[in-house]
Amino acid sequence: MLFNNLLTMIGNNKILVIGSDHAGYRIKEVIKNYLLLKGYKIRDCGTFSEESVDYPDYAHLVAADINDNNEHTGILVCGSGNGVCITANKHQSIRAALCWTTEIASLARLHNDANILCLPARFIDSETAINIVNTFLNTNFEGGRHERRIKKIPL
C-alpha cells in the first residue's frame, strides 16, 4: 500500500521539516496534519498563522536544518513557491525544487535528488498538494548519469 511504502522510505530516523509564509500557511497545515496522521515525524518551523511574515525567515530555518541533517527532507510553501525555493537554494547542500504537478515532483527526485519540495499555495489546491508530497516522498533518486550532474551543482 502507498502509505506503508512512504513510512518505510522515511523510516524512524527521518524527519520532515516544514515551513511556510502566511500565503502558504493553510496548505502547510493540511500537509502537516495529513503526514502526522500517517505517522511521520514533523518539525514545523512556522509560520503559525496567516499574519504577514517574510518568507526568507522560514525558508532559511528549513534549509539550515536539512543542510545540517542530510537525512531529513523538507517541504516549503509560499504563494508562488518561488521565494522559498530561491532562498533555500542559497544553502550549500540544498536542492530545492518548485513543483506544481506530480510529474515535476517525480523528476525533481529522480533526476535532481531534490531534498526540499517547494509548493505554490496560490496555484494548487490541498488535494494536489498532498498528491505532490506523496510523489516526492515516494520517489527515489535514479543515480547513474544524474549523479555526475548533481556533483557539479555546488560551487
Residues known to be catalytic: 111
Burial category of 71 from C-beta neighbours within 10 Å (exposed 0-12, middle 13-18, buried 19 and up): exposed
Contact 66, 73 (CB under 8 A): yes
Q: Cα–Cα distance between 17 and 59 in angstroms, integer?
A: 10
Q: Cα–Cα distance between 129 and 150 in angstroms, integer?
A: 26
**Strand pairing report for 96-98 and 16-20:** unpaired
Q: Cα–Cα distance between 152 and 133 in angstroms, integer?
A: 26
